[in-house]
Amino acid sequence: MLGILILAAVLFALGWAFGVSLRARLVVLGAIWVAMVLAHLAMPADAPFRVSTGGDVRPWLVLALVALALWGYRTGLKRLRARAVRHEAAHAASMQKQPLFSEAELNRYARHMILREVGGPGQRALKQARVLVIGAGGLGSPALLYLAAAGVGTIGVIDDDGVETSNLQRQIIHTDLTIGMPKVFSAQEQMEALNPFISVKPYHRRLDEETARKLFAEYDLILDGTDNFDTRFLVNRIAVETRTPLIAAAITQWEGQISLYDPARGGPCYQCVFPERPADGLAPSCAEAGVIAPLPGVLGSMMALEAVKHLTGAGATLRGAMLIYDGLYGETRRIAVKQRADCPVCKQTHEETAP
């Protein structure tokens, strides 16, 4: 049997040397195999030729099975390679259709792109993102500036107030020259001056339910920097309804808190954590209780940072956790927050997303 196999190998090699096609060489090998099988089936068991070529047809059948297995492996490998090539070509074509960064943008975002957790794909995700910021006040000011600086492609801002002198102690996006101007236009002016490669959409109006439902559907992420519970509950309810992630923060005097509320992806909603509006006087506004100037900057910057992490997939966000900051004593605490089974706002969402 070994002699026949050596002969077949020699014939195969000679065919390759003389330029015979692979198909023709395989036909020759197949013919030799068929002849051996027929010979073993036709000859008596003690025939000298049959004895010298293995004495049994089964080794030749096993050889055929091995050859078929190798052929199947080779064919499957070729198909996988062809599929990979098609996938690479499709991916390259889709990447070419997506907006590219200009040279000026590459220089602007270079410090982002060298971060392993962000890189080029993360910066592209930021450029294609749409973020709505509710309130252009103390929390909204730093959040808006850092979202613009980070390169978030479309930033909406809604606020119905105008710039007042008392705002300038902490609302750093506004200036003395913009006193009396609607906050959304003052913010737009500063954001576009900081980064001309973004699109700012100002909405100078009060946020009501109809407006919220229309706007939230157009954005990937909501940042809530408002200072009253009625608006926060409204924002949370519509965010849950539209399945839009919500980053909300609150401040008073020296303290602040922030979390990412995203029940559509396993986290609690705002009303899971704060089921009821506090009684009058228990949660005074900044105008009533006061606030230290840099505190909104700290929490507003945290909001922008959480937004960047959420949009790029970097690190671990505050979904399912709340960060509490005490500026007076320089203390930070992180506590877990969970979905509430009887929450009237997101109970249905929990049931839809339950495994």
Q: What is the pLDDT of residue 353?
A: 61
Q: What is the pLDDT of residue 79?
A: 83
Q: What is the pLDDT of residue 184?
A: 97
Q: What is the mean pLDDT of residues 85-89?
A: 77
Task: Taking the CA atoms of 310, 313, 316 and 321 in sequence, report the sign of the dihedral they define.
Answer: positive
Q: What is the mean pLDDT of residues 25-45?
A: 68
Tell me the pLDDT tens digit for each residue of 312-347: 999 999 999 999 999 999 999 999 999 998 999 998
Q: Measure the CA angle with vertex 318, ends 317 and 323; round to 5°.
A: 135
Tell me the pLDDT tens digit for each residue of 229-268: 999 999 999 999 999 999 999 999 999 999 999 999 999 9
Kindly tell me if the per-residue pLDDT of 22 is higher than 90. no
Q: What is the mean pLDDT of residues 154-162?
A: 97
Q: Choose the weakest-confidence range: 56-70, 142-156, 188-202.
A: 56-70
d(CA 135, CA 242): 20
Q: What is the mean pLDDT of residues 28-54?
A: 67
Q: What is the pLDDT of residue 41?
A: 66
**Confidence band for 5, pLDDT divided at 50, 70 and 90:** low
% of the chain with per-residue pLDDT over 90? 63
Kindly tell me if the per-residue pLDDT of 47 is higher than 70. no
Where do the domains of the chain lie, and which CATH numbers do they carry? 2-97 (no CATH), 129-353 (3.40.50.720)
Give, in order, the Cα–Cα distances in Å from 102 to each of 68, 99, 117, 128, 280.
54, 9, 22, 15, 52
Kindly tell me if the per-residue pLDDT of 307 is higher than 90. yes
> What pTM, to 2 d.p., does this model score?
0.71
Q: Rounded mean pLDDT of the chain?
A: 86
Q: What is the pLDDT of residue 61?
A: 67
Q: What is the mean pLDDT of residues 283-299?
A: 88
Kindly tell me if the per-residue pLDDT of 91 is higher than 70. no
% of the chain with per-residue pLDDT over 70? 78
**Confidence band for 65, pLDDT divided at 50, 70 and 90:** confident
Short-list 234, 228, 225, CA closest to 145 = 225
Kindly tell me if the per-residue pLDDT of 9 is higher than 70. no
Q: Measure the CA angle with vertex 74, ends 72 and 79; round to 5°.
A: 95
CB atoms within 10 A of CB 159: 25
Q: Is residue 288 within 8 Å of residue 249, measured between CB atoms?
A: no
Tell me the pLDDT tens digit for each residue of 93-138: 655 555 579 999 999 999 999 999 999 999 999 999 999 999 999 9
The residue length of the chain stands at 355
Q: What's the gap between Cα 127 and its chain centre?
A: 13
